[in-house]
């Protein structure tokens, strides 16, 4: 059923290069990867500016005995020069005392606080991970403000081209500025930083990790349309819905695919493929019909081809067989059922019961997966 469903979507081949060659080696994939980055920048997200020459960090607040003495906590302001002058935004970082130089979850967040309903920080610290987070609206407001506020005002002089960057690209670019700082620290492991996000910020985390190969992994939670879900044949939200309500998230070129999704020269497996062969975790919710969990799962299946071509295990076929044999799926469709988790490959997936949400259930599974992967 899964194979048949994928075939019916008529997806463009992510491994087919612009000149017709087939990217069947790591060397050719590097060329193909550049083509995909250029395509997605031009047609969906917009082109981001180059990174600043220097990112400055000022500690606004520090507590070496936070969380009952278990962790150090810092509130840090990052500043850098732009064509429009200096720009800055804050982020928070909590580092457990044990282990030394832990891996890091960097959450692109709806909240400026390091602990909120989407981020059970103490549990994550107890799990041996550091936590970094920044609020997306501190970088660019999540409104159709004519790109006059936040980082948008610092680039372009108020002029927008059809391929000028949208808000998702701006938030993703900011996450890379946090990574600039994390890369310089000696109290965390900069080679084990995972960028994460929920909903629109799950879309953002994907685009961030797609561009910035310093990230060891990416978590996309309930990102749905224009995120981790295949667009062609998708249930729930479509390009027409998302560009009609939130067109400013993308470049203007993306609007032309409203009600013309089958004409797109890409689909969302192109975005996910840019993370290969690094770790990719897609999480869905069983009642989140707007996101369409089945289309998110299909995207994981399809992108596994790229992982396997690069010598990594994608979505684990052994996991799929085991879940089916155990009755975790319906035994017919091949799709995961609520409560299923597939952790055997470099592409991981779980389906949580319930609605559009990011909570402890999800984080406990993220920690279990990345904890095992990073201990190898």
Which whole-number Å values give the CA distances from 120 to 37, 129, 358, 361, in the listed order? 34, 12, 10, 10
Q: What total of structural domains would you count in the chain?
A: 1
pLDDT at 261 over 90: yes
Residue 323 has a pLDDT of: 58
How would residue 38 be classed by pLDDT, with cut points 50, 70 and 90? very high
**Domain hosting residue 356, numbered range:** 2-374
Residue 117 has a pLDDT of: 77
Average pLDDT, the chain: 95
Residue 157 has a pLDDT of: 67
Residue 80 has a pLDDT of: 98
Residues near 180 by Cβ (< 8 Å), separated by ≥ 6?
Answer: 51, 55, 78
Say what percent of the chain tops pLDDT 70: 95
Q: What is the mean pLDDT of residues 332-336?
A: 80
Residue 155 has a pLDDT of: 94
pTM for this entry:
0.97
Distance CA 248, CA 193 (A): 28
Which whole-number Å values give the CA distances from 324 to 308, 320, 334, 354, 375, in the listed order? 22, 6, 7, 21, 28
Q: Which residues pair with 281 in a beta bridge?
A: 219, 348
Which whole-number Å values give the CA distances from 329 to 261, 332, 335, 353, 361, in the listed order? 30, 8, 6, 13, 19
Residue 119 has a pLDDT of: 94
pLDDT at 332 over 60: no
Sign of CA dihedral 68, 69, 70, 73: positive
Say what percent of the chain tops pLDDT 90: 91
pLDDT at 327 over 60: no
pLDDT at 329 over 60: no
Q: Which residue has the higher pLDDT, 325 or 142?
A: 142
Residue 320 has a pLDDT of: 64
Distance CA 118, CA 94 (A): 16
Using alpha carbons only, what angle is made at residue 172 by residues 199 and 346, rounded to the nearest 5 degrees?
Answer: 70
Secondary structure of residue 33 in the 3-state scheme: helix
pLDDT at 31 over 90: yes
pLDDT at 316 over 90: no
Q: Which residues pair with 82 in a beta bridge?
A: 85
pLDDT at 115 over 90: no
Secondary structure of residue 100 in the 3-state scheme: coil
Q: Which helix (H) or strand (E) holds 90?
A: strand 85-96
Q: Which residues pair with 94 in a beta bridge?
A: 73, 131
Residues near 261 by Cβ (< 8 Å), separated by ≥ 6?
Answer: 231, 232, 238, 239
Q: What is the mean pLDDT of residues 57-85?
A: 97
Residue 371 has a pLDDT of: 98
Task: Supply the CATH number for residue 104's domain.
Answer: 3.40.50.1820
Distance CA 309, CA 25 (A): 7
pLDDT at 25 over 60: yes
Residue 112 has a pLDDT of: 84
Residue 321 has a pLDDT of: 63
Q: Which string of b and e fits 242-275 if b means at least 16 CB within 10 Å? A: bbeebbbbbbbbbeebeeebeebebbbbbbbbbb
Q: What is the mean pLDDT of residues 344-351?
A: 98
Which whole-number Å values give the CA distances from 216 to 10, 133, 195, 279, 283, in the listed order? 31, 17, 8, 6, 17
Q: What is the mean pLDDT of residues 350-364?
A: 98
Whether 134 and 90 have beta carbons less than 8 Å apart is answered as yes
Residue 109 has a pLDDT of: 97
Quick: pLDDT tens for 77-110.
999 999 999 999 999 999 999 999 999 999 999 9
Distance CA 20, CA 68 (A): 59
pLDDT at 331 over 60: no
Residue 322 has a pLDDT of: 64
Q: Which residues pair with 284 in a beta bridge?
A: 351
Residue 158, exposed/middle/buried by CB under 10 A (0-12, 13-18, 19+)? exposed
């Amino acid at each position: 059923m899964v194979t048949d469903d994928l075939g019916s979507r008529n997806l463009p081949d992510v491994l087919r290069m612009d000149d017709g060659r087939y990217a069947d080696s790591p060397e050719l994939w590097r060329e193909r990867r550049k083509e995909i980055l250029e395509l997605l920048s031009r047609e969906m997200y917009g082109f981001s500016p180059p990174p600043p020459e220097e990112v400055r960090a000022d500690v606004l607040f520090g507590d070496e005995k936070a969380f009952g003495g278990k962790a150090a906590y810092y509130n840090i302001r990052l500043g850098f020069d732009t064509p429009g002058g200096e720009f800055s935004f804050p982020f928070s970082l909590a580092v457990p005392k044990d282990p030394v130089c832990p891996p890091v979850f960097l959450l692109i967040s709806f909240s400026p606080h390091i602990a909120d309903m989407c981020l059970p920080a103490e549990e994550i610290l107890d799990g041996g991970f550091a936590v970094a987070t920044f609020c997306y609206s501190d970088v660019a407001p999540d409104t159709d403000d004519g790109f006059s506020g936040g980082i948008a005002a610092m680039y372009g002089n108020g002029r927008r081209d059809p391929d000028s960057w949208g808000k998702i690209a701006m938030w993703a670019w900011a996450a890379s500025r946090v990574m600039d700082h994390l890369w310089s620290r000696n109290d965390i492991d900069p080679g084990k930083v995972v960028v994460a996000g929920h909903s629109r910020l799950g879309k953002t985390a994907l685009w961030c990790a797609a561009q910035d190969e310093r990230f060891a992994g990416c978590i996309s939670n309930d990102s749905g349309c224009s995120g981790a879900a295949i667009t062609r044949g998708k249930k729930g939200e479509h390009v027409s819905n998302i560009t009609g309500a939130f067109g400013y998230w993308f470049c203007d070129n993306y609007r032309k695919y409203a009600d013309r999704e089958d004409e797109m020269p890409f689909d969302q497996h192109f975005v996910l493929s840019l993370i290969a062969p690094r770790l990719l975790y897609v999480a869905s919710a069983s009642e989140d019909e707007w996101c369409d969990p089945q289309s998110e799962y299909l995207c994981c299946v399809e992108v596994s081809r790229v992982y396997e071509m690069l010598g990594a295990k994608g979505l684990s076929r052994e996991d799929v067989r085991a879940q089916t044999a155990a009755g975790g799926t319906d035994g017919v469709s091949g799709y995961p059922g609520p409560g299923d988790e597939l952790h055997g490959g470099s592409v991981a997936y779980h389906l949580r019961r319930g609605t559009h949400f990011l909570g402890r259930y999800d984080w406990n599974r993220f920690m279990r997966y990345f904890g095992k992967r990073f201990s190898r």
